[in-house]
Amino acid sequence: MENPELTGGRGRYTIRPVIRKIEGLVVPRDVRLFSSFNFITIYALFFCSGMASLICETVWFKQLQFVLGSSTFSVSVVVACFFGGLAFGGWLGGRLADRSRHLLNLYVLLELSLGLASAAVTLTLSTWETWVVLLAPWLGPESGLFRPLAVLLSALILIVPTTLMGATLPVLGTHQARSNNVLARRIGLLYGVNTLGAAVGCYLAGFILIGRLGVIRSALLASVIYVAIAAGAAIAVRLATRGDHRATDEAATGPGILEDVSAPRSAGWLTLVFFLMGFVSIAYEVLWFRLLSYFGVHTVYAFAGMLCTYLLGLVLGSLINTKYLAHRTDRHLADLARIQVMVVAAVVFSLALLGRSRSLLKAIEGFEHRLGGADTLASLFSGQSSFLCLCLIVLLLPCTLLGIGFPLAMELTARQHTGLGSRLGWLYGINTLGGVLGSLVVGFGLLPLLGSQGSYTVVVLLNLAIFVVLVASQPMLRGDRRLVREGAIAMAFLFASGVILGKDYLKEALTKFLGAEVLAFRENPDATFVVLGYNSPHTGPYQQLLVNGTSYANNSPPGRRYMSTLGHLPALLHTDPHSALVISIGTGTTVGSLTLHPQLERIWAVDIAHEVFDLAPLFVPLNHRFTESPRVQKVVADGRHFLLGTDRRFDMLTFEPPPPIEAGVVNLYSREFYRLARRHMNPGALLCQWIPLDTGFEILPRMMIRTMLAEFPHVSLWIPNRMEAAVIASMDPLRIDLKRMRDRMSVPDLQADLVAYGLGHPEQLLATFVTADVGLADYAGTAPTVTDDQPRIEYFDRYSPKREIRYSDILPHHQPAENFLLGQPLEPARLHLCEEVIQDIWLEYEATKLGRPHDADAFLEHALGLDPTNAYLRYLRQDR
């Protein structure tokens, strides 16, 4: 009898054949779902549930950074609490499933509760500024209570929704198994569909939703999806009860299937295997993401793309299991063991590919251009299409094999109806806990001790150990000579690969740069640090700091000029500075420049990685040995979190973060951050922020400036060279005391430092001034502000036109620096000459970038004609 809800027209045309066709692609012929109704509703609902969960995960991780910071410890705590909640939810959901006769009704309750709990968490975190003041005294890096407080706060906030998320799989999986005697052959498909939803949610959150809706509305949309899932499941119960009683839990319990001869023995050993499978899966994820990030831009789009690739591999593995392996009940144990051997081969192959990533990227980019679809791919994947192709090449095969493992383990678990929910929940929980431990052990233990390749080797050996444990613990496998032979081949392959690749294969790949000497190579749980040394014939030796393959700072003359200005400029403009805060250290040039100002009594240097302080001696003498100065207090902490947890106030605050389009850096450019910084400014204090103007999107610098103008009544723009701007913000109008500036600049060490950069006279420094207040507001125009809820800089790809900013956009807003002088004598002719020189420097750089070398030479020669003794101009001419 036809189900009228699923037929078209007068009941003659049904969608049932279409459903059967789709089903046949992934489900064996003997495992057809008993009704199209069941197929559509259950799998569609669980797909949406996975999608909403990933959106929530992305948003909550971002929101918790505002309270706990972005340090390795804080991020690890949040990850552990999130997945710990999933594990607990899996265990609890399994027990509830075994006690319930109405599983779909239980699922409705879980999804409805999840919708309400997720909304509550999102709204609580969105109002963090109102309640975090109560915890601020204990959140600072110097507080002994910070670590236990971070754990407690993360657990309290995440425990309810993550427990509900974890409970849904065993509940719905048990329902699917009870619905038909095929048991767990459909649970693997259910897991795959849920993971596919997570991959889609990852794409939506990373590429679309947060950039367009903002953080809070994206999470609330996920909450709405949960409520819609609950409503859909409730309707499904009613329709199933009316249309097909076999779809209801009341009629589906059925007799248990007797355990067959292939059922696994030594359950304790299998529990260890399932735990280790979770461990290695997440351990590989951490290592792959670390190594791939070295070859891509560190944007939210790149990280979302890597996670999507990883999840899609798991989906593909789950579908392969459902289609080809699930029905082979007599071979499940052997298949699970064989998969471990195949994973070993695949991950070693991926390691070899990672070492050739630069060559692969060039080949992919060339292929895209020849194919002619580069623009379309760029629009779909925010300019990351080449990098995502690299991710697919490196990750898809090993992730697919890893994706076969978990549903295959569920097949082994679900050999009987009795206690099925508890067994599914236990498996899910133990596998998830293994993943949490894998992340922590690799991040905090293996990477700092052994480096990337050593950690990779340990995890591969652990994968091989899983194979050995499986074969040794299961009587039916010990006599399988074919399996033993395959294990021996895998060991030989692993040994041969180690010999061929060598112990420094990855290090050599990560530090292969033409014309540079590797001075240092360090790894921590978050990043890889490389210091490169160069020896220029006309400037002498200088160094460059790379973090995960991206240049964060260098002390060549152009880099030293703007980085030192970030320290010198506010120190010279302030009436009487005694304390300073510098966030993000890099080579230490900015902090070092501040040590040359004798009136500064205390300087706090804050960076999230202790490696920058360890590597600072390699940048001596250009950073003036700041680490040896008794006035410098070195602090390893997230800069924003440091301000949140301290009660200190400063006369100067200077920020030079990594490029603002990189993931997470926007937290140092938002209104909430400037509001927090303002609370730590003494009367008359100055805030100096680095703003890169050549981001590729002309609206981004205007957004940054507009955001500062929204929190400070007085903001001025200075461009010492190239497209590197220093923006000074304060609560008081800009006033330039020329006499005081001359007196301070006469200090011998300070004078020598400024002369080396071509800024030895006050007029040279004042010439870098562009505009302030009303003039700057005119330049910023109607650009939107950047907030924690609308992190627009991170999601830059949604803005157009995508073009570089030009000086023709800036110069119409130029104001004379004389307008802000306090009345001291000034040589107008000298100032105007210096202004011509600085404009020539700007235009020379712009002409070079636009591919007009003759114009660039003309600008440079004109500048040298005006100021022939300028050290910086002489460097630029020799460098061409």
Instruction: Write the pLDDT tens digit of every residue in 620-634.
Output: 988 999 999 999 999
pLDDT at site 345:
95
Report CA dihedral (179, 180, 184, 189) to the nearest 10 degrees: -70
Report CA dihedral (133, 134, 139, 143) to the nearest 10 degrees: 130
Distance CA 780, CA 852 (A): 28
Over range 585-594, report the average pLDDT: 95
SS3 685: strand
Rounded percentage of the chain residues whose pLDDT exceeds 70: 88
Q: Which amino acid is at 382?
A: S
Q: Choose between 366 and 119: higher pLDDT.
A: 119
Segment 297-352, tens digit of pLDDT: 788 898 999 999 999 999 999 999 888 887 787 888 899 999 999 999 999 999 99
For the cut 90, the answer to whether the pLDDT of residue 721 exceeds it is no
For the cut 50, the answer to whether the pLDDT of residue 415 exceeds it is yes
For the cut 80, the answer to whether the pLDDT of residue 527 exceeds it is yes
Segment 33-78, tens digit of pLDDT: 334 445 677 889 999 999 999 999 999 999 998 888 887 788 888 9
Distance CA 210, CA 701 (A): 20
Q: Give the residue extent of every domain in the chain.
A: 34-255, 268-510, 512-547, 554-822, 827-880
- CATH 1.10.357.10 is the classification of domain 34-255: no
Distance CA 530, CA 508 (A): 12
Contact 321/404 with Cβ under 8 angstroms? yes
pLDDT at site 276:
94
Q: Which residues contact 590 (CB under 8 A, 6 or more apart)?
A: 563, 564, 566, 567, 582, 654, 656
Distance CA 573, CA 356 (A): 50
If one counts every other C-beta atom within 10 angstroms of the C-beta of residue 741, the result is 17
Q: Choose between 411 and 354: higher pLDDT.
A: 354
For the cut 90, the answer to whether the pLDDT of residue 880 exceeds it is no
Q: Choose between 45 and 413: higher pLDDT.
A: 45
Over range 664-669, report the average pLDDT: 94
Nearest to 129 by CA among 608, 673, 650: 673
Planar angle of CA 19, 21, 22, nearest 5 degrees: 65
Q: Which amino acid is at 492?
A: A
Contact 650/685 with Cβ under 8 angstroms? yes
pLDDT at site 377:
62
HSE toward the beta carbon, residue 704, CA cutoff 13 A: 30
- When pLDDT is cut at 50, 70 and 90, the band that residue 378 belongs to is low
Distance CA 606, CA 639 (A): 6
Q: Which residues contact 823 (CB under 8 A, 6 or more apart)?
A: none
Pull the structure tokens for residue 446: 């293996």
Q: Which residues contact 850 (CB under 8 A, 6 or more apart)?
A: none
Judge whether 34-255 and 268-510 match in fold: yes
Distance CA 86, CA 79 (A): 11
- When pLDDT is cut at 50, 70 and 90, the band that residue 1 belongs to is very low
pLDDT at site 228:
96
Segment 203-255, tens digit of pLDDT: 999 999 999 999 999 999 999 999 999 999 888 788 766 654 444 443 344 44
Q: Which CATH class is domain 268-510?
A: mainly alpha
Q: Which amino acid is at 269?
A: W
pLDDT at site 607:
94
Q: Which CATH class is domain 554-822?
A: alpha beta
Over range 639-644, report the average pLDDT: 92
Number of H helices, E strands in the chain: 34, 14
pLDDT at site 624:
94
pLDDT at site 255:
40
CA distances to 164, 296, 663, 859 from 863, in Å: 67, 38, 39, 6
Distance CA 590, CA 584 (A): 9
Q: Choose between 768 and 243: higher pLDDT.
A: 768
Segment 778-811, tens digit of pLDDT: 999 999 999 999 999 999 888 876 778 889 999 9
Helix axes 215-243, 36-68, angle to 10 degrees: 160
Mean pLDDT of the chain: 86
Give the least confident one: 98-107, 134-143, 709-718.
134-143
pLDDT at site 34:
37
SS3 249: helix
